[in-house]
Structure 1
Amino acid sequence: MWKKACLSFFIVLLALSSCQTGEDPIPALDADRGKSYFFMVENKYREYNVREIRYSAVNISDTLVYQLREEVRESFINSQGEESRIIHRLTRDNDTQPWVLDSVWTARIEKDRAVSIENNISIVKMVFPSQAERVWDGNIFNTKAVDQFKILNFGVLTNIAVNNDLETTSTMTIEQENDEDGITFKNIRREVYADSIGLISKLYNVVKICSRSECLGQQLIESGRFYRETIYAHGFIDED
């Protein structure tokens, strides 16, 4: 499992380094550009290696290493008359154990946005047409403070190793936050999506750094959470 996790993380680094850059936004080819990156097709599954560290005090933390599986299930019409998809999220410690249902999320693709309801919080994960440098408020449908998400760039990822096969696909990197002062806090949140696959990488590093006199200059984490999720397999349930 560790070999797969390291390989997946290396692949994501390649995705970030191979993305297109430039000052001018990439124009949308059509009004639907971006929807296939969210990829909420029924019976689609994605499996990830996860490493999570929860910090509760200086030098006190809890590290979790496990696997996560997302299954896109049937659709339903929500209270606003919009079609949504049920997402089953299953976890296990390693690939010798059976999957166990952990939670149920929902997601929908509207005309100009993709919305994910995670633990009863609605988040606008993507906007359409998707263009590099485009910015939007990810929290527009919840009561949290404004949180500006941004499409950093598009790129081409070659030789993505999943299901023991090599694939070539295009990627979209979305930055949810990139803020730190190097002294008291760090808030870095980024997701990478692949065309016709969906989410392939998620990085959250939101921590408070101890700024008391005995901690200064040591970069000791006082509280917060580190979370890294990288894909290692995907496909359709009826093909298993």
Structure 2
Amino acid sequence: MRLRFEYLLLCLLLIITSCGNTDVEDAEPPLDPDLGKSYFFLAPNKYREYAVYEIRYLAVDISDTLEYQLREEVREEFTVNGVESRLIHRLTRNDENENWQLDSVWSARVEAGWAVSVENNVPLQKMVFPVDTTRRWDRNLFNSRESRVQKYLTFNQPFTQGFNTFLRATVVEVSNERSQNPDGIDVTFRDLRTEVYADSIGLVRKEYEQLRFCTVGPCALQEIVQSGRYYREELIAHGFLDEAGN
């Protein structure tokens, strides 16, 4: 009788355990198993269009303001020393009423631990993988320029730009420098640069503010720009070249 009771109890436990397992779902795979590579998006035939606003400061009270559109197209692949890269065609126009005109050709690549963009023949280390907000890296590691340490400010967080919200974005701090006179009051130079990348899209915003201020005469007391540049790119459209005749 005791053996029969124990046998029934064992069967009951097996039934309960089996029923419990039916409620357990497999964990969803990560959206980006490489932790960041899909943010530096180099899918073939991908295009991105930007509204560009730029101010070039030539001297005190002398500046040029430019507004135009920029388009990037991820083009054919090529290999150098076993490393695969893609050509990036950059086209510009004043507004949507004009045809795109080729401005320059850059290239870009994603390797095991980093992403590199070759801009005007200067290779820049844009990102490192896996993305981690504690990481720091040298933007100029692959060129002869002075070292420039970058870092991630956020990763896989929403980013809102105008009426658009990108649910998964990462913000890269390219530079955050300010210099002052010895008295610590007047700012003489400001270099603030950030880039924002969205998952499966690529760059969605670039904002550079590199300004040198007047330090002599009356203008020194008013933080007036003497030279430098303000530059902003904002994504306005993206897709693939075979979509709707693009």
CA distance in 2, matches of 1:30, 1:62: 42
1:139 deviation in Å? 0.1
Please, what TM-score do these two structures have when normalized by structure 2? Answer: 0.80
Q: Is the 8 A contact 2:213 2:220 kept in 1?
A: no
CA distance in 2, matches of 1:83, 1:74: 10
1:207 deviation in Å? 1.0
**Cα distance change, pair 92–170 in 1 and its aligned pair in 2 (3 A):** same
For 1:160-179, what aligned pairs fall within 5 Å after superposition?
168-179=166-177
Partner in structure 2 of residue 206 of structure 1: 210
Relative contact order, higher structure (CA 8 A, sep 6+): 1
For 1:132-171, what aligned pairs fall within 5 Å after superposition?
132-157=133-158, 168-171=166-169
SS at match of 1:239: coil
CA distance in 2, matches of 1:140, 1:151: 17
For 1:213-228, what aligned pairs fall within 5 Å after superposition?
213-228=217-232
Letter in 2 for 1:171: A
1:219 deviation in Å? 1.2
1:29 deviation in Å? 9.2
Runs of 4+ that moved beyond 4 A: 28-31, 158-162
Partner in structure 1 of residue 41 of structure 2: 39
CA distance in 2, matches of 1:217, 1:155: 42
Letter in 2 for 1:172: T
1:189 deviation in Å? 0.6
Partner in structure 2 of residue 186 of structure 1: 190
Q: Which runs of 5+ in 1 are unaligned?
A: 1-27
Say how many residue pairs are matched.
Answer: 209
Q: What is the aligned counterpart of 2:63 among 43, 61, 64?
A: 61
CA distance in 1, matches of 2:160, 2:219: 43
1:183 deviation in Å? 1.2
Identity among equivalent positions (%) equals: 51
Give the aligned CA root-mean-square deviation in angstroms: 2.0
Q: Which runs of 5+ in 2 are unaligned?
A: 1-29, 180-185
1:157 deviation in Å? 2.7
Partner in structure 2 of residue 22 of structure 1: none
Partner in structure 2 of residue 100 of structure 1: 101
**Cα distance change, pair 230–136 in 1 and its aligned pair in 2 (3 A):** same
